[in-house]
Structure 1
Amino acid sequence: MAQDILIIEEVDVRRADDPDDTRVLTVTKVGLPEIKRKEAEHTPGGGVGSVKFLLPMADSIEPKFSVKGLDLDVLRKYGFSAGQHDKWTFAASLRNKRTNKLVSVRSTIQGIVSTWSPGEHTPGELLDCDHTLAEVTYYDLVINGEEIFAWSFYGRYWRSGGIDLFAEYRNALGA
């Protein structure tokens, strides 16, 4: 069967510990982070070429979002909030064009707002402000209540499709 067409209709970004901290009226872009596996390139001395072997690790994760106007909450709590990493909820509603039903998307991301980039301001227009999170230590993606993947630096797991890709490594280390 052909894949369904899912169209994004709404997005939001909020602090996960404060459900009233919605940016639904100011957010203009949400960039879920790229998930890329680490690679180790090997060129054998007697080989005919190189191979990039994939490792059971992820490269650093850097989600982004943009808002119209100044987000004073982000600026007041820039970087660390109460001495801890901020935990964010990125949310979206998608429309399944075949069934006409809404599909919910939720991502929880724990990291630090590392970049605040205000655009140029023109009188009569709202200022664009871009935000990037770094030092991400947790990231999950849940679509319509189903965990698609979850990655935790400190938990030392990476689940994809319900399978923990790092379980055998923890077991081998006796952890």
Structure 2
Amino acid sequence: MAQDILIIEEVDVRRADDPDDTRVFSINKMGLPSLKRKEAEHTPGGGVGTINFLLPMADAFEPKFAVKGLDLDVLRKFGFTAGVFDKWTFAASLRNKRTNKLVPVRTTIQGIVSEWAPGEHTPGELLDCDHTLKEVRYVDLVIDGEEIFAWSFYGRFWRSGGVDLFAEYRTALGA
């Protein structure tokens, strides 16, 4: 069966512990974190070339979002908030073009807003402000109520499609 076409229609970013902290009117763009496996390059002395071995680890996640105007909440709580990592909800609505059904998307991210980059301001235009999260220690992706992906640095799990890819490693280490 052919894959459905899912079109993003709306997005929002908010603090997970404050559902009223919406940026639905000011958000300009939202970048879910890239999912990339860690690679280890190897060139054997007697080999005919180089290979990049994939490891059971993920590269660092760096989600981003941009708003029009100044986001005073982010600026007042820039970086650490009372020494605690912020937990964010990146939300979107997808339209399934075959069924016309609206599909909710939620990504929960625990990390630190490490970069605030205001763009150049031109009179008569709204200022773009980009935000980047780093030191991400938890991320998940839930589409239409189904967990597609979940990863936790300290929880030491990586679930994809309901399968914990790291379970056998924890077992091998006796943890």
Q: Normalised by the shorter chain, which TM-score bucket?
A: over 0.9
Aligned-residue CA RMSD (Å): 0.5
Q: Where do residues 11-50 of structure 1 align in structure 2 (5 Å cutoff)?
A: 11-50=11-50
Cα distance between partner residues in 2 of 1:48 and 1:16: 51
Say which SS state the counterpart of residue 74 (structure 1) adopts: helix
Q: TM-score normalised to the size of structure 1?
A: 0.99
* Structure 2 residue 166 is the aligned partner of structure 1 residue 166: yes
Tell me which amino acid in the other structure corresponds to 1:84: V
Moved more, 69-78 or 117-126: 117-126
1:8-61 deviation line (CA, Å, top 9, x unaligned): 110000000000000000001000011111111111111111111000001110
Partner of 2:80: 80
The one-letter amino acid of 2:83's match is: G
- Following TM superposition, the consecutive aligned residue runs of length 4 or more in structure 1 with deviations greater than 6 angstroms are none
Q: Deviations over 1:37-96 (max 9, x none)?
A: 111111111111111100000111000000000000000000011211100000000111
Unaligned runs of 5+ in 1: none
Give the distance between the partners of 2:26 and 2:9, measured in 1 at CA: 15
Q: Distance in 2 between matches of 1:154 and 1:46?
A: 39
TM-score calculated relative to the size of structure 2: 0.99
1:88 partner amino acid: W
Percent identity between matched residues is 84
CA shift, 1:104, in A, is 0.5
Partner of 1:93: 93
Q: Which residue of 2 aligns with 1:134?
A: 134
The number of aligned residues is 175
Distance 1:11 1:134 in 2: 20
Q: Does 1:8 align with 2:17?
A: no
Helix, strand or coil: the match of 2:99? coil
Code of the aligned partner of 2:88? W
